[in-house]
Structure formats: C-alpha cells, structure tokens
Structure 1
Amino acid sequence: MKFLWCTIQVKDLAASEAFYREIVGLEVKRRMDGPSGPRIAFLGGEGSEVELIQSDKGEIEIGGDISLGFEVKSLEEKMAFLARKGIPLAAGPFQPNPHVRFFYILDPNGLRIQFVERG
C-alpha cells in the first residue's frame, strides 16, 4: 500500500500554493478549476502529495496536534533560508536523539510544518 496525499482546506489557495512551492519546495503537479477559478492544487516532491482545497468558509479549523513533516538535507540551511524570507520558527529546533533534529513553522493557515534532518 502506498500513501498518496493529504488534503488541507485553505483560506487562500494562491497564498497556500506559493508557500508550499517557494518555502517547502514542492512542485505543482496539477490543478483543478471550479466555476470561479482555481479550486484545488496538488503539490508534491518525491512520492506523496499535498492537496490544497480552496475553502468556501471564512475560517479554517486546523487541529492543534496535526503537522506535516518534510525531510531536509541541512536544518541550518533551511533555517537561514526561512530567516531571509522573514518566516519565524514556531518551535524548536529539537534533537530528541543523536540521529534526528527538527523544527516547526506555520503555513498561511496555521498548520504546523515540520522540517527534519536525519543523520
């Protein structure tokens, strides 16, 4: 069995798509339009995808215990990149064992994004 994608309801599809493309580093794989323009975007890297769906609701509820984790080669390089973009760390960095380090930022909807370096 293969994990395909996770779905995220978003307040602003364009802003969320830009975040996952420019900050996380995912590529747009496909888009689906509705009567009033873009409604769904699938972005991915190596394997699994993130499905962003434009919400018709004013506010989005994100569970406080949900996060998306992405592996990076260098935590320091990613933190420096985020600092240049003006994106603050939401938590961390943490090192729960000698082989894993990670930190969190927030996406435009308040969803926690985890960047992990394994070594």
Structure 2
Amino acid sequence: MNLMLNWITLRIRDLEASLAFYHGILGLPIERRFESRGKRIAMLGPANQPKIELIEGSEITVRPNNGISVGFEVESLERAMEELQSKGIPVARGPIEPNPHLRFFYILDPDGFEVQLAQHR
C-alpha cells in the first residue's frame, strides 16, 4: 500500500474566524470553499501539499486539549514569533528545544487547537 497524507480535519465553531487565522494570519492559501450536508467547509494549504479541512458545525467531536496539534515548518523561529506577536497572537507554549536540531513553539487557533511552528537546523 502506498499512502500519501491528503488532509487533516478540524471541526470548528466559526469558519470565518478560522479562515482569518489560518489564511489571514498564517498565510495558508484557500484551495476551495463549499457546503456539504448543510456544513460550511474550507480546504487550505499550498498546491501539492496536504490540506487542513475546516468544517464549521456545532458538534465539536475532538476537543482542543486532547493532545492534537497541527504543525508547520518555518525558516526562522524568531521571525515567526515577532510576526505573530505583531499581529496580536501570543505564544501559548515555548519556545522548546528538545534537541540541538529542533526548536518550536505553540500558538492557539480560534477554537483553542494548538498550532506548532517548528524550525529544524
């Protein structure tokens, strides 16, 4: 079996607030928006890379504090922290350096899901 990650789904309360965060602040391109079974859905991410699927709805089945996080690679952890703080997004945890080759920190999305920004050296 040859598998390739296609998307990760986050069930969120407010699609517009999540788009303002993931697209407006983090800069993920919106691939498409659509409705299915009465739910508003958006797929975000660069071409030819796995997507984040945001599904707006009232039944949040995965709670933000269950250990799930979404991770992104950045070129410079310091520049990312400065840019986010200038946009009013505080660092929730970190920076953490578990080994000499990796540093990361966490911010929270509008629903409280952890978003990890990591720099590999």
TM-score, with length taken from structure 2 = 0.88
Distance in 1 (alpha carbons) for counterparts of 2:98 and 2:60: 38
SS in structure 2 of the partner of residue 109 of structure 1: coil
Q: What pairs up with 1:7-86 in 2 under 5 angstroms?
A: 7-33=9-35, 39-45=40-46, 47-57=49-59, 61-86=63-88
Q: CA 1:90–1:35 in structure 2 vs 1: closer, same or farther (change >3 Å)?
A: same
Letter in 2 for 1:81: E
Task: Name whichever of 40-49 and 52-61 sits farther off.
Answer: 52-61
Asked if the contact 1:11–1:59 (Cα under 8 Å) also holds between the matched residues in 2, the reply is no
Distance in 1 (alpha carbons) for counterparts of 2:64 and 2:85: 25
Q: How many residues align?
A: 118
Give the CA deviation at 1:35: 8.3
Give the CA deviation at 1:95: 0.7
Give the CA deviation at 1:60: 7.1
CA-atom RMSD in angstroms: 2.0
The sequence identity of aligned pairs, in percent, is 46
Q: Provide Cα deviations, 1:28-82, integer angstroms capped at 9, x if missing partner.
A: 001113587x700000126110000011348973242110000000101100001
Asked if the contact 1:11–1:60 (Cα under 8 Å) also holds between the matched residues in 2, the reply is no
Is there any run of 5+ residues in structure 1 with no aligned partner, and where?
A: none
Counterpart for residue 112 of structure 1: 114
Distance in 2 (alpha carbons) for counterparts of 1:4 and 1:35: 21
Give the CA deviation at 1:86: 1.1
Q: CA 1:85–1:64 in structure 2 vs 1: closer, same or farther (change >3 Å)?
A: same
Is there any run of 5+ residues in structure 2 with no aligned partner, and where?
A: none
